[in-house]
A and B are shown apart, each in its own frame.
Chain A
Amino acid sequence: MPVCPRCAFETVETLHSSPVPDVWDVLQCGRCLYTWRTTEPARRTRREAYPEQFRLTADDIEAAPEVPAVPPLRTPA
């Protein structure tokens, strides 16, 4: 199994396989959830070709803001 092209995480799951056998798989990163099809261009599927501007790190994921923010629980009157 390849590493995640976006965050280089090594745990990748197969979400789906092509209805025509052995044409492609849809893979998903276990950390950043990046999802890709194995037949996509290298710029979307290979770590070394993945654009710098779209790469993510564990810190980026940790620091990502909540949108919308989870509101405070309303306590019953």
Chain B
Amino acid sequence: MPYDDLRSFLDTLDKEGQLLRVSEEVLPEPDLAAAANAAGRIGEGAPALWFDNVRGFTDARIALNVHGSWANHALALGLPKHTPVKEQVAEFARRWDAFPVPPERREDAPWRANTQEGDDVDLFSVLPLFRLNDGDGGFYLDKAAVVSRDPEDPGSFGKQNVGTYRLEVVGRDRLAIQPVPVHDVALHLRKAEERGEDLPIAITLGNDPVMAIVAGMPMGYDQSEYEMAGALRGAPAPIATAPLTGFDVPWGSEVVIEGVVEGRKRQIEGPFGEFTGHYSGGRRMPVIRVDRISYRTRPVFESLYLGMPWTECDYLVGPNTCVPLLKQLRAEFPEVQAVNAMYTHGLLAIISTRKRYGGFAKAVAMRAMTTPHGLGYITTVIVVDEDVDPFDLPQVMWAVSAKVNPSGDVLVMPNLPVVELAPAAQPAGITSKMIIDATTPVAPDVRGNFSTPAKDLPETRQWVTRIQNLMAARG
């Protein structure tokens, strides 16, 4: 049963023991961010956090770490909470094949209940804003699904983009936005600015859990995130028309903020502790003027802590980074078995593949680096054999330790593109990239002494089940 809004998902998390309500009074800073930071240090079963007793506020409802564990990620996809990571990614990949699923338009959106317009707009009066990390330049909206359209093709549903971008609150009706050049909103803004125009924008906060996953997913320019949400939900995504921009926005959002990115204007922004585990900032970025806020009665403010991984961000964008890469690679190389690109949004990827012939694994790695997401992210690729599980890091390390002869299996290519936020880049946006081929060489690549591998015994799989059953029966 898919969730149409954040509230219904929070109810499920509550029933499953995956929502912790903190009822004692806390300080907005540093408590809210420190608690969400701590959730990431607790490990795989960490709960979402709910705060409604925050000093100085009379009416705050704050949800944090909603996707911040494998249990919560499984529940977001409607899977049992103990579903292993590899199975979550495999199920995600299966559902992807249903794309595109047209959305369902509903015009009775609950966020129509309340409105601020023009001079009355005050983000602080609707949202209990707070700081995440010490060096952040201000308070951020970092889990919004941001909607924009291609100014040269505004009627295209597919080119309408839904993405998550960092937004700094720089006034009661002002936000700074970071449109990373490799992302779709930057293409929209560029086209608007070349025409000397503002770019209309709708920012939706507090969405159903699949909407948050697709908004952070690297998809093709003309692929609709709503149609992908429908595929992942197994039911059409409910959408509604935003009143000011006319854009399609999630029906179930808690808050819908509309306005324009002011064309050809830049203003100091940041820093902000990013998904790379480092701050980025000290740059002049575009500014949004907010003209209208629509919101549900007693809105829930959903936010996400990010900093040194792992944090909620890594769970949120882990599987949704693996699956597009898997699909894009398999389209040309059906030998590819699985992709684990969960490290820093895919700055590192581990790929398991069968080998067509000698050198094939290295070619697969190069292709991964030239996929749309790989261009801006994948800096290191580890390729492993088809019988190595890329999600099982001890197995991956075995392959690297036993199969790699560095002189022939480690390739470093200089001066390739990467997101500017990548902290090791030099200069920003340029990096070398590395392939580590940890597969077994096949003819005509005859290097090494791999002719007698010690494989799992044929009876082992049966014994795994037998032992597990015996242990379960023992209680």
Which A residues lie within 8 Å of B190 (CB)?
68, 71
Contact A67 B131 (CB under 8 A): no
Q: How far is the CA of A70 from the CA of B190 in the complex (A)?
A: 8
Shortest distance between the CB of B355 and any CB in chain A (Å): 41
What separation, in Å, do the CA atoms of A39 and B57 have in the docked complex?
A: 13
Least CB distance, B226 to chain A, in whole angstroms:
26
Is there an interface contact between B56 and A66, defined as CB atoms closer than 8 Å?
no
For A51, list chain B residues within 8 Å (CB): 134-135
A26 touches B57 (CB 8 A): no
Chain A interface bracket (under 10, 10 to 19, 20 to 34, 35 or more): 35 or more
Asked whether A65 lies within 8 Å of B172 as measured between CB atoms, the reply is: no
> Which B residues lie within 8 Å of A56 (CB)?
268, 282
Docked complex Cα distance between A27 and B129 (Å): 13
Most buried by B among A6, A35, A66: A35
Of residues 52 to 77 in A, which have CB atoms within 8 Å of B's CB atoms?
A: 53-54, 56, 60-61, 64-68, 70-74
A45 to B83, CA, bound (A): 44
Q: How far is the CA of A74 from the CA of B171 in the complex (A)?
A: 31
Q: Are A26 and B124 in contact (CB under 8 A)?
A: yes
- Complex partner residue of B134 from A28, A37, A54, CB under 8 angstroms: A54
Whether a CB of chain A sits under 8 angstroms from the CB of B181 is: yes
Cβ contact within 8 Å between B284 and A66: yes
Interface size class of B (residues with CB under 8 A): 35 or more
Given known pairs A40-B30, A68-B181, the reply for A24 and B56 (CB within 8 Å) is yes
Known interface pairs A19-B56, A41-B29, A73-B196; A35-B169 also in contact (CB < 8 Å): yes
B59 touches A19 (CB 8 A): yes
Residue picked from A6, A51, A64, A67, most chain B C-beta under 10 Å: A67
Question: B1: shortest Cβ distance to chain A, in Å?
Answer: 37
Note all chain A residues with C-beta closer than 8 A to B193: 70-71
Within 8 Å by CB of A67, from B194, B195, B284, lies B284
Interface set of B (CB-CB < 8 Å, partner A): 27-30, 55-59, 122, 124-125, 129-131, 134-135, 137-139, 169-172, 178-179, 181, 186, 189-190, 193-196, 264, 266-269, 271, 279, 282-286, 420
- A68 pairs with B179, CB closer than 8 A: yes
CB distance from B199 to the nearest CB of A (A): 12
A67 touches B124 (CB 8 A): no
Select one of B28, B170, B194 contacting A35, CB under 8 A: B170
B55 / chain A contacts, CB cutoff of 8 Å: 20, 23-24, 39
Question: Which applies to chain A's interface (DSSP): helix, strand, loop or mixed?
Answer: loop
Which residues of A come within 8 Å of B, CB atoms?
Answer: 6, 15-16, 18-20, 23-24, 26, 28, 32-37, 39-41, 43-44, 51, 53-54, 56, 60-61, 64-68, 70-74
Q: Distance (Å) between the CB of A64 and the closest chain B CB?
A: 5
The chain A residue sitting closest to B129, CB to CB, is: A26
Q: How far is it, in angstroms, between the C-alpha of A33 and the C-alpha of B271 when the chains are bound?
A: 11
Q: How far is the CB of B69 from chain A (nearest CB, A)?
A: 28
Find chain A residues with CB under 8 A from B27 CB. Answer: 39
Across-interface contacts of B179 in A (CB, < 8 A): 68
Q: Determine how close the nearest CB of chain B comes to the CB of A58; give it in whole angstroms.
A: 11
Instruction: Tell me how far the C-beta of A48 lies from the nearest C-beta in chain B, rounded to whole angstroms.
Output: 15
Contact assessment for A44 and B194 in the assembled complex, using a CB-CB cutoff below 8 Å: no
Assess the A70–B266 pair: CB atoms within 8 A. yes
Q: Which residues on B sit within 8 Å (CB–CB) of A71?
A: 190, 193-194
Contact yes or no, A39 B30, CB < 8 A: no
B151 to chain A, nearest CB (A): 11
Across the interface, name the chain A residue whose C-beta is closest to B190.
Answer: A71
A31 vs chain B, min Cβ distance (A): 9
In the complex, which residues of chain A have a beta carbon less than 8 angstroms from the beta carbon of B57? 18-20
Q: Is the CB of B56 within 8 A of A67?
A: no
**Chain B residue at minimum C-beta to C-beta distance from A45:** B29
Contact status of A39 and B29, CB under 8 A, knowing A54-B134, A64-B284, A67-B178: yes
A36 pairs with B283, CB closer than 8 A: no
Contact (Cβ within 8 A) B138 A35 = yes
Instruction: Report B95 CB to chain A, min CB distance, Å.
Output: 34
Q: How far is the CB of B181 from chain A (nearest CB, A)?
A: 5
Residue of A nearest to B172 (CB): A15
Q: Which residues of A contact B170 (CB under 8 A)?
A: 28, 33, 35
A75 to B267, CA, bound (A): 25
Given contacts A23-B56, A44-B29, contact A74 B195 (CB under 8 A): yes
Contact A39 B56 (CB under 8 A): yes
A10 to B121, CA, bound (A): 27
What is the chain A residue whose CB lies nearest that of B183?
A: A68
CB within 8 A of A43: which of B58, B134, B171? B134
The answer to whether B29 and A40 touch across the interface, beta carbons within 8 angstroms, is yes
